[in-house]
Structure 1
Amino acid sequence: MRIGISTFATDEGITPAALGRAMEERGFESLFLAEHSHIPVRRETPHPMGGDLPRGYYRPVDPFVALGAISSVTTTLRLGTGIALLIQRDVIQTAKEVATLDLISGGRAVFGAGVGWNREEMRNHGTDPRVRGALLDEQLDALRQIWTKDEAEFHGRYVDFDPIFQWPKPVQQPHPPIYVGGNGEPAVRRVAAHGDGWLPNAVREPDQVAGQLALLREYAGDDVPVTATSASAKRLDVLDAYAEAGVDRVTLGLPAVPEADTLRMLDRMAEVPARYR
């Protein structure tokens, strides 16, 4: 089982390049960066995990710029979004950003995408929260067209463009893997129809792993790669359960803190990738 890190890269934490170098030196396989373009001042949508919104949500840097910087100082680290809020993005421009990241990293990009949760944030981008699932479905299909065809076009209800040229194409063939974020039935249905893998939050107890994976098998079959995100490095019993279930990757949650604190945390967490290598 491969072990990565999930985090917010922020202006208050370790710089992206320093984080990437430190992770690769300690044997981590991948880094997944979260995205929020902004947090509305008057926010009504509650945080899905409950409680106050963590400080990192207010201050993340752009994940693609950060991952591009990391690509220049690493050679093996897989570089993922976890998750990109595609419904708040222009799909043609995002296709170019992902393909460019894949090119400059030598084929190490992983595209994690989802519908998000903050309805006020969506509305500020002109996205109707009521149709965000249908919009994402079309966007994911449109991405495949752009990445795999020299003359790509798409005509849907929410995404509509006549034939276009766009290069660069991704290095990975047919394209970087698309991991669909989300924890419930709508997410696994989307994995089956539009994705290459599933990116759920890690469960909190080992006896919950089987049920989580059973949901995926019910709708998407047995062969879908799973990356369970933001697990606790201290819960080796949960990580062992994922390994025994055949999950191919788990990422450990890492808070956005200054460089010295981050390096100390990574030193303590480095035993985890060694355990499952």
Structure 2
Amino acid sequence: MRIGVTVPNFGPAATADSLRAWAAVVEDAGFDFLMVGDHVAATPDVTAAYPGPFWEPLTLLGYLAGVTRRVELGTTVLVVPYREPLLTARSLAGLDQLSDGRLIVGVGVGWAGAEFAALGLDPRRRGEVTDEYLRALLALWSDDVVSFAGRHVAFTDVDARPRPHRTPHPPLWIGGNGAAARRRAARFGQAWHPLRVPAGWLRATGLPALRAAADAEGRPAPALAPRVVLHPTTEHRADGDRLVGEGRPDQIRADLDELRELGATHVLLDTHRDADAAARADHAAQRALVEDAARWLPPS
């Protein structure tokens, strides 16, 4: 089981120097991968949770690929309807090539209504658009010259090179906790990427529902690669009142042991708490928390 860290690419503390320091901490502390979030139009519903400035993730990952050598790099999660798939496929394939095959593509449908409006998109169609764009993305990664005919995107004889470094393409993680995300993960993904889930939920509800979705699609269940919080406390937290990754260090270690037992291939740790915390002018305390956790987390 590989363990990664979410790098906060938002807020006043997210300077170029700070983002470079985050990448160094993740790599030097022995973690296996890092991931960054995605917003294109930082409307008030976005900044209420993720204060600006917000760094565009694909640009940032290109930079972080150049200042790291070992860790994998990814998105948690790229909002598929926000970007036309021809550009998305080319950008991601280029990132995978330039990082020597270190890219992980976590994707989702999005949630911020005002952001959809700012981009001229209908949020009610985000699920069907995501599914079609994912089909186009996979087609563009599958051959040198590609044609595609869909309701929302169509193109003929597009030279899709350079293809991704990894074959057949970078790992595709489908983010989201609901039924539609599980169906999409079974249909398209190498992994299901649920986000900040309650303690016990994956064993009791999430994974049985994922297996049922895969059975309905006639496909094997995808891998489990959750994003969980990293919120250590000094006091014990009752399971009915906490998220996975929240509580005393021994509780967090037990959470990760359980995820390993459940078959998780990757676990992404997220230090983000709320907008007030993200609005602080310095990320040094969060990086120190990650460095400290590397000493008491179970080995990957």
Taking structure 1 as the reference length, what is the TM-score of the superposition?
0.89
Which residue pairs with 2:2 in the alignment?
Answer: 2
Q: Is 1:35 aligned to 2:30, yes or no?
A: no
- Partner in structure 2 of residue 242 of structure 1: 259
Conservation of the 8 A alpha-carbon contact between 2:186 and 2:221: no
Seen in structure 2, the aligned counterparts of structure 1 residues 248 and 57 have a Cα distance that, compared at 3 Å, is farther
Which stretch has the larger CA shift, 8-17 or 61-70? 8-17
Question: Which secondary structure state, in structure 2, belongs to the residue aligned with residue 93 of structure 1?
Answer: helix
- Tell me which amino acid in the other structure corresponds to 1:276: P
Q: Secondary structure at the match of 1:152?
A: strand
When residues 111 and 196 of structure 1 are mapped into structure 2, their CA distance, relative to the original with a 3 A threshold, is same
Indicate conservation of the 8 Å contact 2:104/2:173, yes or no: yes
C-alpha distance in structure 2 between counterparts of 1:85 and 1:223, whole Å = 23
Matching residue's letter, 2:271: L
Is 1:206–1:238's contact at 8 Å kept on the other side of the alignment? no
CA contact (8 A) 2:7 2:22 kept: no
Residue segments in structure 1 that go unaligned for 5+ positions in a row: none
State the partner residue of 1:90. 84
Match of 1:119 in 2: 113
SS in 2 for 1:180: strand
User: Equivalent residue of 2:138, what SS?
Assistant: helix
Counterpart position of 2:299:
276
Q: Contact 2:197–2:228 at 8 Å: present in 1 too?
A: no
| Deviation readout 1:49-91 (Å, 9 max, x if unpaired) | xxx932x353320111111111112122110100011101111
Determine the structure 2 residue equivalent to 1:267: 291
1:140-219 matched pairs, under 5 angstroms: 140-206=134-200, 208-219=202-213
Distance in 1, Cα, partners of 2:206 & 2:32: 23
SS of 2:116's partner is helix
Structure 1 Cα separation of the partners of residues 48 and 258 of structure 2: 29
**208-217 vs 60-69, greater mean Cα deviation:** 208-217
The corresponding residue for 1:26 is 29
CA distance in 2 between counterparts of 1:215 and 1:3 reads: 24
CA apart distance, 1:99 = 0.7
Matches of 1:78 and 1:53, distance apart in 2: 29
Q: Give me the whole-angstrom Cα distance separating, in 2, the residues matched to 1:194 and 1:223.
A: 11
When structure 1 is superposed on structure 2, of 105-114 and 159-168 the one drifting more is: 159-168
Query: Within the alignment, does 1:253 sit opposite 2:270 as a pair?
Result: yes
Give % identity. Answer: 31
The worse-fitting range, judged by mean Cα deviation, of 26-35 and 217-226 is: 217-226
Deviation at residue 106 of structure 1 after TM alignment: 0.4
Query: 5+ unaligned residues in a row in structure 2: which ranges?
Result: 233-244, 246-251, 273-277
Q: Conserved in 1, the CA contact under 8 Å of 2:227 and 2:269?
A: yes
